[in-house]
Structure 1
Amino acid sequence: MAWLLLTLAITSEVLATTALKLSNGLTHLGWTLAVAAGYITSFALLAQALKLQLDMGTAYAIWAGAGTAAIALIGAAFMGETLTPLKIGGILLIIGGVVVLNLAGGQ
């Protein structure tokens, strides 16, 4: 259940960050409300995942790393941002770091 909550927290954070870009500097009310709701939901879900005994360092690293990688890919796929070989390498390092954290004994 903790891993499901963490996955939902990551999804909510990614949606909120995408809405942040679409909010045009928080000037579009609808997208601004989506940003606020997404981040509040994300932190609430992350808090519940931690309450269920996920290691804090592992959970936060996965939450932040997976969110960062997802946002980089969304930016390239839908927002016209460039995806250079160096950026791809960075995303692969993030994914590798998450895998290593899981193999190192996260619950």
Structure 2
Amino acid sequence: MSIHDIIEGKKQWRAHMARVKALPPDYQIVYKEMQKYLFKVGPIDLSDGPLLPGIVDFFEEGAAAGKGVLELIGDDVAAFCDDLIKDSRTYADAYQESRARCE
């Protein structure tokens, strides 16, 4: 990874977070909780994949329509996140696969 790639990645991340900060406060709170959860259990390609920007797109549309964030995702944030990543390869999957190879 070159310095140019690192700088470009930081620019993209800052732009992404600026979009999050433009959301209504309740959306921001839920997004940050989702982000923490997904960074803990989420897919391997989370940081450079389409999932997080897709969530922001979804939230921007919901906010523009005047809906509350829980109207969009329901009361169980973790279940919503699990549903988003159900077909993605996670770090837990990679760990289990490496353990299985060692046995």
TM-score range normalised by the length of the shorter chain: 0.3 to 0.5
- The normalised TM-score by structure 1 is 0.35
- The normalised TM-score by structure 2 is 0.36
More helix as a share of residues: 1
